[in-house]
Amino acid sequence: MVYMMEYSEDMTGKVCIVTGSNSGIGKETAIALAEMGGRLALVVRSREKGETAKNEMVEQTGNSNIDIFVADLSEMEQVQSVAKQIKDTYEKVDVLVNNAGAIIGDRQETSEGYEMTIALNHFAPLLLTYELIPLLAKSESARVVNVSSAAHSFGDVDLDDPFYRNSYGSMKAYGTSKLMMIMATKELATKLEKLDISVNAVHPGFVRTNFGRSNAGLGSKIFLKLTSPFQRSPEHGAETQIYVASSPEVNGVTGKYFADMKEKKPSKKVGNEELRKAVWKFSNNILGLDWDNQIQSVSVSA
Ligand SMILES: NC(=O)c1ccc[n+]([C@@H]2O[C@H](COP(=O)([O-])OP(=O)(O)OC[C@H]3O[C@@H](n4cnc5c(N)ncnc54)[C@H](OP(=O)(O)O)[C@@H]3O)[C@@H](O)[C@H]2O)c1
């Protein structure tokens, strides 16, 4: 059966950023938001793939209000540079879907010395959100949607070895990065409440995309191939993040975790306040982020 859902919210005039929107769940999210009339910013790491996706989106939705921004989001310098380009292009941002993410088979380090999975899946969304606070604050009620995973329950935070210099496992690194993302979502929600910016995390389900097809280890690749018939279509997989990004039912909801378009309880690990605060502090120290200062400067200039 072909999965089809109709999205009927009016996103006219709303600037919606979707990272990793040239394929999979991110692409379907961008298509739905474009269908609802939003002005789309696709953040992709290949201009060519971005152009191809944009052409399909324009053809499918009739909405040509779609811009492309290029960045390898595992490099924080590129995250900052793309944020600057976005700030130079738009007056405000209404929706930021931090969707780009990957599982990395063998341990890799970025040129900035971070382990690749944590850099792409956790640091990049946090830094992009931070840099875009001035624009998010200009929206009437902005929404940040962090695409996490149920695999966060496999996460095991070890702040003595956060970059896995002693031992690396792709699933452990992936799960931990998605756990850190949910922990940061919860902390951020409290910080950003006064600016009327909501922050929620989602799990899209088990979805048939390019996920793990090139980067993961052989075992994961075989697993993904064998389970392919049981995986959701990307259209179906995108529905929770589209819902959280656009539905009036989610107005005012912040700091929550969603799956299947419903609020769900994340793993108990997220509720470990001491660990959550430690992850928050570690992440902001590494990235040099001062949220109170950022929020204060926005409140003063408003
Ligand atoms: N599929 C699932 O079952 C599943 C389950 C739970 C959560 N998720 C999460 O859902 C999100 C979307 O994944 P997907 O399933 O749609 O997989 P996908 O088809 O592989 O899409 C991932 C997107 O992220 C982009 N990306 C990867 N590395 C990047 C980098 N260094 N810089 C910038 N962009 C980068 C990819 O760009 P390229 O095309 O250039 O590689 C692609 O656009 C991910 O965060 C994933 O962890 C997926």
User: Could you report the per-residue pLDDT of 130-179, keeping only the tens digit for each?
Assistant: 999 999 999 999 999 999 999 999 999 999 999 999 999 999 999 999 99
> Which residue's structure tokens are 């971005």?
50
**Residues 175 and 152 sit within 8 Å (Cβ to Cβ):** yes
Q: How confident is the model at residue 2 (pLDDT cuts 50, 70, 90)?
A: very low
Alpha carbon distance 255, 198 (integer Å) = 7
> CA–CA separation, 32 vs 12, rounded Å?
12
CB contact at 8 A, 202 and 140: no
Q: Tokens for 89, please give them.
A: 């292009």
Place of tokens 């009437």: 140
191-247 pLDDT, tens digit each: 999 999 999 999 999 999 998 887 767 777 788 888 988 899 999 999 999 999 999
Please state at what angle helix 291-301 crosses helix 170-192, rounded to 10 degrees: 40
Q: How much distance in Å is there from the Cα of 121 to the middle of ligand 1?
A: 9
Buried b (16+ CB within 10 A) or exposed e, 229-264: eebbbbbbbbbbbbbbbbeeebeeebbbbbbebeee
What residue ranges line ligand 1, CB within 6 angstroms? 20, 22-26, 45-46, 49, 72-74, 99-102, 120, 147, 149, 203-204, 206-207, 209-211
Cα(291) to ligand 1 centroid in Å equals 27
> What pLDDT sits at residue 6?
66
**Residue 147 CA, closest ligand 1 atom number:** 45
Record the tokens describing residue 203, joined without a space. Answer: 């799990």
Q: Which of 211, 213, 240, 267 to mutate to test the pocket of ligand 1 (most atoms within 8 A of CB)?
A: 211
Contact criterion met (CB below 8 Å) for 29 and 245: yes
What is d(CA 119, CA 123) in angstroms, rounded to the nearest whole number? 5
Backbone angles phi, psi at 39, to 5 degrees: -95, 120
Residue-wise pLDDT for 85-131, tens only, equals 999 999 999 999 999 999 999 999 999 999 999 999 999 999 999 99
The reply to whether the predicted model has a pTM over 0.85 is yes
Measured in angstroms, how far is the CA atom of residue 302 from the centroid of ligand 1? 35
Give the residue numbers annotated as catalytic, written as ranges: 174
Domains and CATH numbers, the chain: 73-301 (3.40.50.720)
| 82: phi then psi, degrees, rounded to nearest 5 | -70, -35
| pLDDT tens digits along 239-276 | 999 999 999 999 999 999 999 999 999 999 999 999 99
- Would strands 197-203 and 257-259 be described as parallel, antiparallel, or unpaired? parallel
| Ligand 1 atom nearest to 22, measured from its CA | 43
